[in-house]
Amino acid sequence: MRQGPLTGRYPAAAAMVVFALVPYLALSAALAPITPIIARDLHMSLQAMSLGSGMANAAYAVGTVLAVLLAQHLPQRRMQVLYAALLVIGSVMAAAAPDAGLFVAGHVIQGLCTSLLLIAAVPPLVVGFSISKMRWTAIILNICIFGAVALGPLVGGIQAQANGWRPLFWIIAGIAAAALVLSLLTFQDAPPADRTAPRNPLPVGIAAVGCVAAFYGASEMLTRGFLDPSTFVPWIGGLALIVILLVYQYRAKRPLLCIRPLASTLPVSGIAVAICAAASSISAVGLAAVLLATRYSPVHLGLLQFPEFGGALITAALLGLVFRSRGLHYLVLGGMLSLIAGILLLRSQLPPTSGVMALGSGLVGLGVGGSVAPALFIAGFSLRNNALQRVFAIIELLRGVAAFMVGPVLVHVAATVGGNPDAGTSAALWICFAIATAGTLLAVSLYALGRVRPPSPSLEQWFSGAAPGWYSPPLLAVVRKHPGEQVLSEPLARPSPIIVQDGGPPARDGARRAADRSPTAGS
């Protein structure tokens, strides 16, 4: 098996994941202040810029599903290197673009390859090293995914203050190149996850059509009414296709995405929280910032949003502290309550003062950092670890749709409702509050109706691949006829491999024999 010189080195593998995910996620949040500058230089309308960003976000959502399909039949680590190389190409295309077409194409490639790398590289980082490293992986993921998004407005503000955009894009290309180099240095060849899996491209096709249609409709809301047929029809049609994808995969005998085993109390609660937190958090801070765009310089406005990054750092540290305890569940609850408080604070005074904006951003940062990543692990611990790649895929698909598609809708509400920007923003923030509150109440209710006392994860059991990290009761166990029935037995019959790369406990023999067939092989 061919190996790179840094194979098995956790710091190098973790750095590769960070460099692979940060460029697009930070850039997606940094675009707002520099969008007019890009549009001016490339002779694009703001509507064209909105459509380009929407297609890049659609590519990010679709890539989560495509990555799982490709991992089943193609060598996973070789594909990971290919994804990293394409990310570099897309980043260079966007940075050097002389016209709108090349810029949009490069940005779409950035979105697609980021999600491909997320699904290909993160699960091996979680299960490919010893248990002692999992706490650090959780911290890194929290900072990497949500910290990057929170840092975006300040980065974009600094670049906008310099009246340019290409330097930022070239820096992004450099970070992507570092990810490619690290993917080669940490390379360890590995076979496909499951050559016997069906070669069924239909789930990817449904996801692609649904995401493109939904994001197209959301992007068109910048200049068209919500009920305009060219906006509403693709938007609602795309959402319907995503629902059809979930139902189809739930009923499939050999699904690509593991929907059925997630249909129990803890995974559904975690996914609901992740979707609602993603949908409400990014929109809330962005809506408040729009009202202040004419009052402060881009850098000043970015600094007012910087406390959101601080909140992400604090919750990352808290996640590391409670990762192996029942406190993981309470961290999610605390995060959602902080998110709700931040939204209410931002809405309490419109336009917000500098103090209100900074404090509200910090509370929102605490909220999203304390809810989404912990909720993702709550869902992951509810299944055996050989399902982790597909669990990440479905959660990131839904989170990506919620995070990137709801924003344009709420911006449209803020611009058209109430007769003035303050009234429209107030209405949009009430919607954010309703989404966050609904997600919190739904999760708490599911715990109550499932007779769940927040458990501590058995990481040794989960890490062995023999069983989930805890028992997740069936949905609504209190009102079901057979509340003791377990809804966890997805046909993931193969045991999970545990390939320890840093001197941790040896893998089980059965796990090693299944290593070349598991979705997490090749770590």
Contact 288, 357 (CB under 8 A): yes
**351 cis-preceded (ω within 30 degrees of 0):** yes
82 Rama class: left (phi>0) / alpha (psi -120 to 50) / beta: alpha
Residue 30 tokens, joined: 């940094």
* CATH fold match for the domains 7-197 and 263-478: yes
* 481 — pLDDT class (breaks 50, 70, 90): low
CA gap 322, 324 in Å, rounded: 6
Q: How much is the mean pLDDT over the chain? A: 85
Residue 245 tokens, joined: 């994808």
Fold of 263-478: Growth Hormone; Chain: A; (1.20.1250)
The closest alpha carbon to 215, from 52, 333, 363, belongs to 52
- 164 burial class (0-12, 13-18, 19+ CB within 10 angstroms)? middle
Using the structure block, give the residue that is written with the tokens 């997740």: 472
Whether the pLDDT of residue 75 is over 60: the answer is yes
Q: What are the residue ranges spanned by the domains of the chain?
A: 7-197, 206-255, 263-478
Over range 438-445, report the average pLDDT. 94
* 500 — pLDDT class (breaks 50, 70, 90): very low
332-371 tens-digit pLDDT:
999 999 999 999 999 998 889 999 999 999 999 999 889 8
Give the CATH superfamily of 7-197.
MFS general substrate transporter like domains (1.20.1250.20)
AA identity, residue 391: V
